[in-house]
Chain A
Amino acid sequence: MFYFIVKRTIISFFITLAATTLMYFLTISSGDPFEDLGETSGPQKAATIAARTAAMNLDVAPIPRYFLWLQDVGHCLVPGGVSCTLGQDRTGAAVLPQLENAIGSTLRLVVVATVLALVLGVVVGIVTAIRQYSVFDYSITFVSFLLFSLPLFWLSTLLKQYLAIDLNTWLDNPQFSYLTIALIGVVAGVIWAVVVGGDRRRRLVVFAVAAAVTAVGLYLLLVTGWFVTPGLGVVGMLVSAAGIAVLWTALLAGFRRRRVLHAALAAAAVSFAGYLASVPLLNDPNWLVLVALVILLAVISYVVAGVIGGPFRTQAARIGAVIAVSVSLLIVLDRLLQAYPTLSAKAGGRPIPTTGSQSANLEGTFWEINLDYALHLVLPTIALTLISFATYTRYTRASQLDVMNQDYIRTARAKGLSERTVLVKHAFRNAMIPITTLMAFDFAGVLGGAVITEQVFGWNGMGKLFVDGINAVDPGPVMAFFLVVGTAAVLFNMLADIAYAFLDPRITLS
C-alpha cells in the first residue's frame, strides 16, 4: 500500500512536470500577446508593449522563460525565502491571489451542481434499472440523451428567459387560470403514473390521485398567496417531519420492525420540538450557531431514537440522527423561504438574477444574504446539473443492471430476503463501485470550473481565469489553472484506485 502510494506519487510528479512543459509551450505559441494593441495608436501603445514585455519576460527566449516560470512555482514549494506568487500575469500582477479567488467562486458554483447531479443521477439510474424497459426507463433514456447533447450556452439562454425573466414577471403577480391549473394537474398525473407504473388500474388511480392533489395543492398555494410569502409553516413542518421519518424508515429499515418505526417517529417529534424551540434562536444566526444547533438536535434524536429502539437501538439511533439532519435542512429551507418577501422587495421585485454571484450592497439578515446567494446559484446550478445528470444515470443504470443479474442477487432472493434488502444492501452497494471512478474524475473536473457556465452567468472562476489567459496568450494564469487541474486529476485518480481496493476485496494494490 505504502509502496504503491510512493510509486504513484513519483510517477505523477513527472507526468505533471511533462504536462506543464507541453502546456507552457502550447500556450505561448498559441497567438500574439500584443494582438489587442493592433488597432490602437499613440504613445500608450509603446509604453504598454514595454510594460507587458517586462511582466511576461517576453525578452527571454521561450525555453529559459519556461524555467523562469518553474522557478516561480518552486518558490511556492520551498518554504521561506522568496514569496510564492506563481509568476505574474501580463499586467504584472501576481497570479496566486487570482487563483485563490477563482477557486473560491468555482467551488461555490460547481460543488452544489455536482452533488445534485450525483444524487439525482444515481437515484434515477437505479430506478430505471429496476424497471428496465418500462415507459419510465425509455422516457429517462430519451431525456438524458437529450440533455447530454444540449449546448450549454443555448440551454442557459432558455433558462434565463423562462426561469428568470418570465418567472420573475409571474412572481410579481402570481396567478394561473383554472385551465392552466387543471393542465398542470394532468401533466403531473401522467408523470407520476409513468414513474410508479404497475397495472392499468393502478396507473389510473395514481394518475387521478396525483392530478387531483397537484391541482388542488397548486390552487391552495395560489389563493393563500404562498408564492408571495412562501414558507412551510408549523403544520407543514409537522407533516414533513412525519413524512421524512416514514420515508427514511422505509428505505433503511423497512416496516417489519415496529420498534424502529416508533423510534423514527419519536426522532421526528424531537426534531419538530427542536424546530419550535429554534424559532426565536434563528432570527439572524451565523453559521457557527446553525451548525451547533444541527449537531445538538442530531445528538438528542440519536439518543432518544436509540432508547426507544430497544433491541434494535444501533439501527434506530442512526435513523434518528439521519431524520434530525433532514428536518434541520427543512428548517433552513423554511427560514430561507420566509426571507423571500423582503429579499424580493430589495431586489426590485425581480428576485431571480441572470448574472453575477451576489447582489451588490445587499444589507440584511443571515437568511436574506444566503437566499440571495442561493438565488444567484439557481440558474447555473440547473444548467450544470441537467447536463451532468445524464452521465450519472446512464452509468448507474448499466452498473445496477449488471449487478442485478449476478448469482448472489438470485441467492439473496432465494433465501427469502425482502426486495428492499436485496436492492439496497446487496445490489446498490456493489453497483456503486464503478461509479467511484466516475466521481473521482468528476470532482477533479470540478476544480477546472465550468468555462461556458462561468462566462454565461458572470462568475469569475477557474474557467474564466483559463479562457482569459488563453485569449491574452498569457501563460501565467493558464499555467496556474493547469497546475491545479492537472494535480487534481492525477491525485483523484490515485484516490480512486485506493478507494477501489477498499470497496472491492478482489483488488489488491501492489
Chain B
Amino acid sequence: MRNKRTMSLAALSIGALMLSACGSAGGTSDSDSAASSGSDENLASTITIAISQAPTAYNGNTAATNAVYNGYVDNLTSSAFVSYSPSGTLEQNTDFGSYEKTSDDPLTIEYTINDDAVWSDGTPIDYDDVLLSWAAMSGTHPTGEEDEETGEEADLFQASSTNGFSQMQMIEGEPGDKEFEVVFDKPYADWEALFTTGTFMPAHIAAEQGGLSADGDGAALVDAIQNDDRDALTPVAEFWNTGWAYEADLPSLPDTALLPSSGPYKLDNAVNGTLTVVRNEDYWGEERAGQTETMVFRTVVDEEAVQALQNGDVDIIDPSSPTVDTKTALEQIGDTVTVDTGQSFTFSHIDLDQRPGAVFEDLRVRQAFAACIPKADMVDKFVTPVDPEGSVLNLREYQPSHDDYQTVLDGAPAAQGDGVADIERARSLLEEAGKTEPVPVSMMFASTSQLRADQVALVKNSCDQAGFEITPQPEAEWSAKLPQPGAWDAVIFGWSGSGLVASGQSIYVTDGEQNFGGYTNDEVDSLWDDIATSTDSEQVVPLKTELEQALADTQYNVVLYANPSLAGYTSDLQGVELNPTQSGITWNAYTWTKQN
C-alpha cells in the first residue's frame, strides 16, 4: 500500500518534471532591443567614466592639487594651445588658437587666441587670462616670508611648478588682446609644452573673487599684475590657490558660476564623488566639439572597477596598475566589453649606488649586474600577459610608445639588447673587476609592493649565480631613503616619464636632485646643457641619441620595461584610444559616442 503510494507519487512528479522541462513562463513580449540595434542615430546621451580617486580641484596648477584625475576632467573642461597626442608628442589645438616661433635669440613666440574663444559664461578668453597664468606660475611674487630650512621665499601663488614661466619675461599686452608675444630670458627646450590643457584659469573670476572689478576685459587685474600691486594681488592669489578646490571626496561642487569652462564640456554638478560635465553650448570650436551630451566621472576603486563595468555602472575603466588578473577578468565578460592594451610612459628601473667606495663604483660591476638581470623574464611575467606587444625597455629618455623610440635606439648601439640574462658574461666581467668573492648587494624596494618583491626575487635568483649576493631590503619609507648615500646598494622603483624634453635632467646630471646613485659624467652633463637650451625639436633627437649612447656605455642604471596600461570599455563605446602620457584616457573623450 505504502509502496504503491510512493511509486505513484514518484511517477507523478517525474511526469510533471518532464512536462515542465520543455517550456518557460514569463519574459517580456516586446523585444525592443532588436528594433533599436543597428541604427546610427540612436546614441546614448550619457557616458560614465570610472576614475579611482575623486578630482580635488578645478585649478590643477597648484602644488596641492596637481593630481592625475584633475587632468582627466581638464581634458574636457579646458583647452589651450597644445595637448599630448597618443604618440607622446605635442599636438596643436587649432580650435583654441595658433602660435609661431619668431626668433631663437631671444626665444620669442607669437601666440594668437581664436577670436571666438570664450569662457562658458560668455567672457572672451584673452590677455588677462594669459597674464594671470604667467603671474601665478612664474614665481615672481615673493611674499617675503622665508622658509626656515631652505631659505627660499614663498610665493603669493602656490604653483606646482615655475619651470618655463620663470624663464619668461612678463607677457606684454593690453586688456582684451587676443594676440600676445612671449619672450624668454634664456632658451627653454620645453617652451611648447607650457600652454597645455588646464593651464589657463578664468582671470575674470579670480579678479572678482579677489575684490577687483572684472570690467574692461579685466583691466583692474591686468593693471595690478603689470604694476606688481601686491596688496591688490594677495586676495586674487589666495583665491587662485584655494578658491577652486573641491571638498574632499567631492560631496558637491562649489557654485558653478565660479567654474566657467574653456573646453567642449562644462562642470554641472557633483554628488558623493560623482562629477557630471555637460556639453558647453558656448564652445566655439568644431574639431573638439563634444559628441555626447553628458559625461559622468564616477569614483570607483580599481579592484571593483571590472564588476562595475560589467554591470553597466560605468562605461569605461582604466585601472592605474593593471595586472594579469584585471585583464583576465575583463576578457571573461565576453564580447560586450572591449579591452585595449598599450604601454605607458611610466617605467621600472634599478638605480645603482656608484659613489666612490660603493658596490657599483666600478663600471664592470655595473655591467655585470646589468648582464645578469633577467629583463626578458620580467617582461614575460609582468608585461606581456597584460600587453602582448610589450617589450624590454632599452632607453631611459624614451619609452616604446614614443614616436622616436626606434630612431633613437638605432642610433645608440650600446643601449641595444634583448634583455636575456647572460650569466657567463656577468661572471667574466666580475672576474675582470677582480671580484673573487660574491659581491654583496642590498636591494631596496617598497615593502608594500608584492610586484617589486617578486622582481627582486627574480634578480636574486639569476644574479646570485653570476657572483653577486643579493639581499632583499624591503622598506616602508623607501622614498625617504632614496637620497641617503649608503642606505642601499641597488633600488628598484618606477619613474613616470613626461614626454617633455628637459624634465629628466635632474636624474642624470652630476649632483642632480634625482641622481640618487651619485653618477657623474662630463659628457652627459654637457649634453644636457645643450638639450635643455635647445629650442628646436629637430635638434633634440640627435642630442638625446648621443645621450642614450653615453648613459648606456657608462651603465647609469638598469632600465627594465615600460609599465603596461589597459582600458576596458563597453563595446558600444566608440572613439577610445590609449594615451601613454599623463593626459590619461580622457584625452579625446569629447569625440566619444555610445550606441544605445
Contact = CB atoms under 8 A, between A and B. Distances in A.
Given A89-B248, A358-B272, A182 B161 contact: no
Nearest to B162: A43
B251 interface: yes
A489 to B, nearest CB: 25
Nearest to A347: B312
Interface in B235-250: 242, 245, 247-249
Nearest to B514: A41
Given A44-B161, A59-B148, A348-B312, A160 B20 contact: no
Contact of A223 (B25, B54, B296, B307): B25
A203 interface: no
A458 B23 contact: no
Interface string A149-179: 0000000010011001100100011111111
A355 B300 contact: yes
Nearest to A174: B26
Given A37-B479, A350-B311, A358-B272, A91 B56 contact: yes
Contact of A48 (B66, B304, B503): B66
Interface stretch (B384-392, B493-501, B527-535): B493-501
Interface residues of A, number: 70
Contact of A182 (B16, B65, B150, B498): B16
A60 B493 CA distance: 30
A55 B271 CA distance: 26
Contacts of A177: 20-21, 23-25
Interface in A440-473: 455-460, 464
A102 B251 CA distance: 9
B465 interface: no
B420 interface: no
B506 A41 contact: yes
B301 A356 contact: no
B418 interface: no
Interface in A19-74: 31-32, 34-35, 37-44, 47-48, 50-52, 55, 59
A39 B158 contact: no
B311 A38 contact: no
Interface string A222-250: 11010110000000000000000000000
Nearest to B148: A59
Contacts of B161: 42-44, 47
Contacts of B148: 59
A168 B311 contact: yes
A219 interface: yes
B66 A39 contact: no
B310 interface: yes
B48 to A, nearest CB: 8
B495 A39 contact: yes
Contact of B308 (A47, A354, A360): A354
Contact size class for B? 35 or more
Contact of A353 (B22, B162, B272, B313): B313
Interface string B20-64: 111111111000000000000000101010000010100000111
A354 B311 contact: yes
B446 A93 contact: no
A356 B312 CA distance: 13
A51 B24 contact: no
B163 A175 contact: no
B482 A92 contact: no
Contacts of A456: 301, 303-304
A365 interface: no
B298 A355 contact: yes
Given A91-B64, A177-B20, A354-B311, A48 B248 contact: no
A187 B235 CA distance: 71
A458 B300 contact: yes
Contact of B311 (A32, A160, A360): A160
Given A41-B503, A41-B506, A174 B495 contact: no
Contacts of A35: 446, 476-480
A354 B476 contact: no
A32 B480 CA distance: 7
A433 B454 CA distance: 54
Contact of A93 (B158, B248, B478, B482): B248
B299 interface: yes
Contact of B25 (A173, A176, A464): A176
Contacts of A460: 54, 249, 251, 272-273, 299
Given A165-B310, A355-B313, A32 B20 contact: no
B247 A97 contact: yes
A50 B316 CA distance: 36
A178 B273 contact: no
A216 B321 CA distance: 51
A178 B19 contact: yes
Contacts of A354: 304, 307-308, 311, 313
A185 to B, nearest CB: 10
Nearest to B46: A361
A381 interface: no
Interface of B: 16-17, 19-28, 44, 46, 48, 54, 56, 62-66, 147-150, 154, 158-163, 242, 245, 247-249, 251, 268-269, 271-274, 276, 294, 296, 298-301, 303-304, 307-308, 310-314, 346, 446, 476-480, 482, 493-496, 498, 503-504, 506-507, 513-514
Going nearest first, the 5 A-B pairs with the smallest beta carbon separation are: A38-B479, A178-B20, A222-B26, A47-B63, A175-B26
Given A32-B477, A354-B304, 4 more contacts: A39-B479, A91-B245, A97-B248, A459-B272
18 contacts: A35-B478, A41-B513, A42-B498, A42-B506, A43-B161, A93-B247, A98-B248, A101-B249, A157-B307, A178-B21, A182-B20, A222-B25, A350-B312, A355-B300, A356-B273, A360-B271, A455-B301, A458-B299
